[in-house]
Amino acid sequence: MKRIFALWSVAFVLTVAFLVWQKMSGPTYPVRGSFALNGLEIPARLNRSGIIGADMPVKVDVSAALEAGREVSGKVIWRRYPTDDPWQTLPMTLHDGVLEADLPRQPMAGKLEYRVELSDGTHTSVLPANGEHAVARFKGHVPALILVFHVTLLVLGFLFSTAAGLEGLTGGPGLKTLSRLALGCLVVGGLVLGPIVQKYAFDAFWTGWPLGQDWTDNKLAVGALLWLLAVWRTRDAVPGRPRGRWFAFLAMMGIFVIFAIPHSIHGSTYDYATGEHIQRM
């Protein structure tokens, strides 16, 4: 019992850690920071994901500055990405203590790069700082039910993969069953539902090899192949004879490497010059 509890505890902690990393390293994770105006810190979060058919809101809560008797104005400087378009400026308007502006809607996989400038009349602060820009990508609406099953099965796939790898490392009796659960979740969640999600979001079922360079598609395919090999090698595993145990362990390590790669590298991007979708960082 203690061994089982320890195994699942480690598997759970590793799964949560890698999921947090995937979320924070992904292209939709907001740019976070704060504006500094004469000793006053104004925290903000800049969106990096929009939905086609709608403008993307940019909001900064400046209520703390107003309560301190400061008058703050703002503007959004933006252009299409990746282009050499001239920068355009959107003035922000104040509503209930929040400065707001709407970046114009873009085609599917279209991107905008932008920054926000706040001023109190004497000082100006910019986010992102140091000449950087937030890049927002527009996507189609994905039905919530499909997205929930997609994410849930991938999470379970990682959890079962970790548990199966640890069973292989320790020679545990659940090796064969857990290996099959890991493979099943990765295949259904990643290779079946993943392309469906991508079709809704970017109008393409598959943009990995050999059709494109999308690392998300490619790494899911590699992960499924690793576990397919592990399942085949553990087909004769029984309690006391954990055949193929090291293949399961190596497949688990492979999944670790795959999930350590930031999400959506070389993902779909709209080329404004050609009107086509390309793969780009």
Q: pTM surpassing 0.85?
A: yes
pLDDT in tens, 215-250: 778 888 999 999 999 999 999 888 878 899 999 999
8 Å CB contact between 231 and 180 = yes
* Residue 143: predicted pLDDT: 96
Burial letters for 64-96: b for 16+ Cβ neighbours within 10 Å, e otherwise? Answer: ebeeeeeebbbbbebebbbeeeeeeebebeeee
Q: What is the mean pLDDT of residues 194-204?
A: 92
Least confident range of 11-20, 111-120, 122-131, 211-220: 211-220
Give me the amino acid identity at 133: H
Residue 69, pLDDT score: 84
Partners of residue 268 on adjacent β-strands? 279
Rounded (5°) CA angle 185-188-110:
115
Q: Which of 65, 63, 60 is nearest to 46 (CA)?
A: 60
Quote the percentage of the chain above a pLDDT of 70: 96
Average pLDDT over residues 85-106: 97
Closest CA to 135 of 49, 17, 202: 49
Q: What is the pLDDT of residue 279?
A: 62
- Any idea which fold 31-139 has? Immunoglobulin-like (2.60.40)
Q: What is the mean pLDDT of the chain?
A: 91
Residue 57 has pLDDT above 70, yes or no: yes
The region of weakest confidence among 16-30, 43-57, 77-91, 206-220 is 206-220
Question: Of all residues in the chain, what percent carry a pLDDT higher than 90?
Answer: 70
CB 270 within 8 A of CB 107: yes
Q: Give the pLDDT band (50/70/90) at residue 267.
A: confident
Q: Beta-carbon neighbour count of residue 138 at 10 Å?
A: 24
Contact between 44 and 129 (Cβ < 8 Å): no
Calculate mean pLDDT across residues 146-154: 96
C-alpha triplet 274, 276, 279: angle, nearest 5°? 115
